[in-house]
Amino acid sequence: MTMKAPGRRSRVAVIGVPMDLGSNLRGVDMGPSAIRIAGVVEQLRELGCRIKDFGNVAVPHASVVGIGSASMRYAEPIKMTCELLATAIESSLEDSHTPVVLGGDHSIAMGTLAGLARYGLSRKRKKRRRYGLLWVDAHADANTPRTTPSGNVHGMPLAVALGRGDKRFTELGGPAPMIDASSAVLLAVRDVDLGERDNLRKLGLRVITMREIDERGVFECTTEALDIVNAGTDGFHLSVDMDCLDPRLAPGVGTPVPGGLTVREAHLVMELVADSRQMVSCEFVEVNPVIDQRNMTAELAAGLIRSALGGKIL
């Protein structure tokens, strides 16, 4: 049995961002195609969603652009891609569609959140709109050019969204930050760089580690997270790195870390997101078909997107 996605989510804009410039491993640029092959658009149509497919945002290949600074590799082409994505996000929201972004490495979140911030600041509305952020990831993604051990920008977008990092990125959506830290939650994290620990303390967002999930359970932790991202906001953005799952279940990710969420736990997070009816946009990133097994990680991503948009067992 299928059920129609509630409210505004019945109108969905699908946007692919085939970018791997923020990663140290080629292959995630094929993620949007893999998720589409897994049937995500068909699954959403079965829910009753009306789909507007933007296709893919244009992304330059690593072989034809300069690496740039060692502490922020490929910064300029990443910025250019995020600008294009931000425009598509803002346009989708203005057209009353829920953007569903298919990645691509996690640096694309800077473009998604920039578009959301621009929409919230638009002069078309008398009152500024504020949004929360639920970031589901094995990693903190809270490095800056000063703390990064690799120079890979996909390890920086959460810090950027909360106003820390290079101004070329932090001001993509207008005055920084894109999201207030008091309305942000990092969920399912289990691998944090040394420099990120200090950054997270300074940022002040709520961090729910896998240990806490083990101790308290997914339902209680996710319920708390949703309370935070929805408190005093006009809805929230959902950002899901597929390495939040255990790599035995989702092997096609660039930076796997043992001990992640099970398939059912991840679906429960998405189902609670759907039950809240407050998600205004989302992205699913870091699917790498080159190292996947029979497209299983992309199929998991497609199923999780379906759950986040209102898919139910009964």
What pLDDT does 53 receive?
Answer: 96
> In this structure, is residue 2 part of a structural domain?
no
Q: What's the pTM?
A: 0.96
C-alpha distance across the termini of the chain, in Å: 6
Range of 130's domain?
A: 7-308
Tally of residues, the chain: 314
1 part of a folded domain: no
Name the DSSP letter for residue 88: H
Catalytic positions are 106, 137, 139, 141, 154, 241, 243, 286
The partner residues of 103 in beta bridges, in order of sequence, read 17
pLDDT for position 9? 58
The upper half-sphere exposure of residue 129, i.e. CA atoms within 13 Å in the direction of its Cβ, equals 22
Q: What is the CATH number of the domain that holds 85?
A: 3.40.800.10
* DSSP category for residue 177: P
Q: Which two tokens stand for residue 111?
A: 């473009």
Interval 87-120: pLDDT, tens:
999 999 999 999 999 999 999 999 999 999 999 9
User: Residue 5 gets which letter from DSSP?
Assistant: P
Instruction: Provide the H-helix boundaries in the chain.
Output: 31-37, 40-46, 75-94, 109-121, 157-161, 167-170, 194-203, 210-216, 218-230, 263-276, 296-308
What local confidence, expressed as pLDDT, does residue 126 receive? 72
Q: Is residue 313 part of a domain?
A: no
SS3 136: strand
**Cβ proximity of 243 and 138 under 8 Å:** yes
Number of folded domains in the chain?
Answer: 1
Domain membership of residue 314 (yes or no) is no
Tell me, yes or no, whether 290 lies in a domain: yes
Low-confidence ranges of the chain (pLDDT < 50): 1-8
For residue range 147-184, list pLDDT tens digits in order. Answer: 999 999 999 999 999 999 999 999 999 999 999 999 99
Asked if residue 161 lies in contact with residue 110, where contact means CB atoms within 8 angstroms, the answer is yes
Residue 188 domain-assigned (yes or no): yes
Residue at 148 is within a domain: yes
